[in-house]
Amino acid sequence: MAEAETLETMQPNPAWDAASYPDVVDTLAAADYTFKVWGGDWCGDCRGQLPDFAAALDAAGVPAERIDHYPVEKADDGSKVGPLVEEYDIELIPTVVVELDGEEVARFVEEEDVPIAVYLAERLSN
């Protein structure tokens, strides 16, 4: 398996208000989920969305060893290049895949109209 690196955009946003999202925080903390995050520090969507998601994971007490960062670059044709991009069919970033016991249980892809943490919590609580 590819070794995870670090995305600067996954530094938690200190202004994110966990008290406004108690159900989201509880859901993210509810199981031993692994969060696989594909993004690029160069990507505007990633810079806008990932710091709040990182803050939600932090508020949920998710340990760093269960958060894998996969920095992605953009090829000349617009496709994404990076660790496990083909294996996980990554086309847009940010993409977050949530796994439980090695199985994918939820996926956020850039285009959703709600914050990453909210979107994933809704899917994980169903």
Q: Which class does domain 22-125 fall in?
A: alpha beta
Look up residue 88 and give its two tokens: 């996980």
- What SS3 state is found at 43? coil
What's the whole-model pTM score? 0.93
What is the tens place of the pLDDT at every residue in 12-26?
A: 999 999 999 999 999
Q: Domain locations in the chain?
A: 22-125
Return the pLDDT at 4.
Answer: 54
Residue 2 has pLDDT above 70, yes or no: no
What is the tens place of the pLDDT at every residue in 106-125?
A: 999 998 999 999 999 999 99
Q: Which helix (H) or strand (E) holds 51?
A: helix 44-59
pLDDT band at 1 (very low <50, low <70, confident <90, very high): very low
Return the pLDDT at 101.
Answer: 95
What is the tens place of the pLDDT at every residue in 32-57?
A: 999 999 999 999 999 999 999 999 99
In the sheet that 67-71 helps form, which strands lie side by side, from edge to edge? 67-71, 34-39, 95-100, 103-109
What is the tens place of the pLDDT at every residue in 58-108?
A: 999 999 999 999 999 999 998 899 999 999 999 999 999 999 999 999 999
